[in-house]
Amino acid sequence: GAVVSQHPSWVICKSGTSVKIECRSLDFQATTMFWYRQFPKQSLMLMATSNEGSKATYEQGVEKDKFLINHASLTLSTLTVTSAHPEDSSFYICSASLGPNEQFFGPGTRLTVL
């Protein structure tokens, strides 16, 4: 089946540093990937839609300059949290689209900002 990986699975960083999270579709090509954020005991909130070779589309309220998304190839999208602060601590999940309304999710990355 379609497999999506994320790296790292967890990361701890100091306030003010930047953190990069990778999302890879391992056995299929994905022109579209999605980035979600999940707070404890809450739902997944869509942050942005990442399209290969073009700029990401951000949801309302998501800071483009803070959450940089790059989708450089059909199997890789990266999310960089710039100048991270404790309030950015969360669980970040990506998904890759195999076709219309067919998304496969990665295992998530837990970010803790001290």
Partner 1 sequence: AQSVSQHNHHVILSEAASLELGCNYSYGGTVNLFWYVQYPGQHLQLLLKYFSGDPLVKGIKGFEAEFIKSKFSFNLRKPSVQWSDTAEYFCAVSSFRDDKIIFGKGTRLHILP
Residues contributing to the site for partner 1 (CB under 8 A) = 4, 32, 34, 36, 41-46, 49, 93, 95, 97, 100-101, 103, 105-108
Q: Could you tell me the two tokens for 44?
A: 């997944």
One DSSP character per residue, 11-68 reads EEE-TT--EEEEEEESSS--SEEEEEEE-TTS-EEEEEEEETTS--EEPTT--TTTEE
In angstroms, give the least distance from the CB of 14 to partner 1.
27
Among residues 82 and 103, whose Cβ is nearest to partner 1?
103
Reduced to 3 states (helix: H, G, I; strand: E, B; else coil), residue 97 is: strand
In angstroms, give the least distance from the CB of 12 to partner 1.
19
In angstroms, give the least distance from the CB of 83 to partner 1.
27
Among residues 14 and 41, whose Cβ is nearest to partner 1?
41
Does 8 sit behind a cis peptide bond, omega within 30 degrees of 0 on the bond before it?
A: yes
In angstroms, give the least distance from the CB of 48 to partner 1.
10
Among residues 49 and 89, whose Cβ is nearest to partner 1?
49
Query: What does the angle CA 81 – CA 86 – CA 92 come to, to the nearest 5 degrees?
Result: 45
